[in-house]
Amino acid sequence: MTRFGPPARPAKNAPVAAPRQQKTIAMENASERLITGVSVGPLAALNVRSVERRASSAGRRGGIVAVMETWDAITSRRNVRRFADRAIGEDTLEQVLEAGRRAPSSRNWQPWDFVLVTDRDQLRELSKVWQGGGHVADSAATIALVVEDSDDRRTRETAQYDLGQTTMAMMIAAADQGIGSGHSAVADQAKAREVLGLPEDRRVAYLIDLGYPADRPLKPIRNPNRRPFDQVVHRGRW
Ligand SMILES: Cc1cc2nc3c(=O)[nH]c(=O)nc-3n(C[C@H](O)[C@H](O)[C@H](O)COP(=O)(O)O)c2cc1C
């Protein structure tokens, strides 16, 4: 019978698990690009655990795989716009999609559908739906985020928030596998609908393109191009 509740305490003489090996990993600096070693403060305390894990999820078929820890995946993610000519395995793609499916949404309404595209001709056509989406053409796969084409402002705004959540979940899951990701807006809805065979009552909110980076592998970024922490974060009051 399945027991619920906190895990049972180990017996008194039970062997104690060996501490996981610590290692400092290479970091990337947005301006200097590649830096190795060194710890850089509380937010980037990158004495990161060794990353060998026994795979057990449906997306992986057993054996030892090199994967990132959550913090590495978060700090390594960046918008990738140049992709290597290398396919992404079906299991890995499904894991990324599953991360998106599990994302939270307002009242759990899950306003999204995902259309996965890997066909090169389709990717080339999709890359034309927005002037800033050229990188979609060379992606290994692109996920079109499809929502209902509502006129109601509140519905659209709520969907936007939820789409952000599912997007980030997929991007972190991709980064966890060393896969780069990017966004593209969609201006030409008629073309997007045609390429994807969507019904008239749906629109493509965004395209999320995926692929192994052609420029440099994903690594934790030491100094991301972001507003300073103390400017962004307010404690208690503005
Ligand atoms: C809502 C949204 C729309 C975006 N649209 C595009 C786009 O159409 N084309 C593009 O190349 N990048 C797009 N981006 C990516 C942003 O430019 C990128 O996240 C930002 O510059 C930070 O990049 P970084 O995380 O690599 O530092 C979009 C991002 C978001 C969140």
Q: In 45-83, which positions are buried (b, 16+ CB within 10 angstroms) versus exposed (e)?
A: ebebeeeeeeeeeebbeeeeeeebbeebbbbbbbebbeb
Whose tokens are 């509140």? That residue is 154
Is residue 177 domain-shared with residue 104, that is, in the same domain? yes
Task: Give the chain's residues under pLDDT 70.
Answer: 1-68
Are 95 and 207 in a shared domain?
Answer: yes
Shortest-distance Cα residue to atom 27 of ligand 1: 78
Question: What distance in angstroms lies between residue 32's CA and the mean position of ligand 1's atoms?
Answer: 21
One domain, residues 153 and 102: yes
Q: What is the pLDDT of residue 26?
A: 58
Distance 18 CA to ligand 1 centre (A): 42
Is the domain of 35 the same as that of 136? no
Specify the pTM. Answer: 0.79
**HSE-CB for 193 with a 13 A CA cutoff:** 13
Which tokens go with 114? 């995902």
Statement to judge: residues 116 and 29 lie in one domain: no
Which atom of ligand 1 sits closest to the CA of residue 185?
Answer: 8
**Domain range spanning residue 29?**
22-78+219-225
Rounded to the nearest angstrom, the distance between the alpha carbon of 4 and the centre of ligand 1 is: 43
Substitution candidate for ligand 1 out of 75, 78, 79 with most atoms within 8 A of CB: 79
Q: How many domains does the chain have?
A: 2
For residues 109 and 181, state if they share a domain: yes
Report if residue 10 sits inside a domain: no
Summarize pLDDT for 76-118 with one digit per residue, the tens.
999 999 999 999 999 999 999 999 999 999 999 999 999 999 9
Indicate if 125 and 189 belong to the same structural domain: yes
Please indicate, yes or no, whether residues 96 and 199 belong to a single structural domain of this protein.
yes
**Which residues, other chains included, contact 201 with Cβ-Cβ below 8 Å and sequence gap of 6+?**
148, 149
Question: What pLDDT is stored for residue 69 in this prediction?
Answer: 87
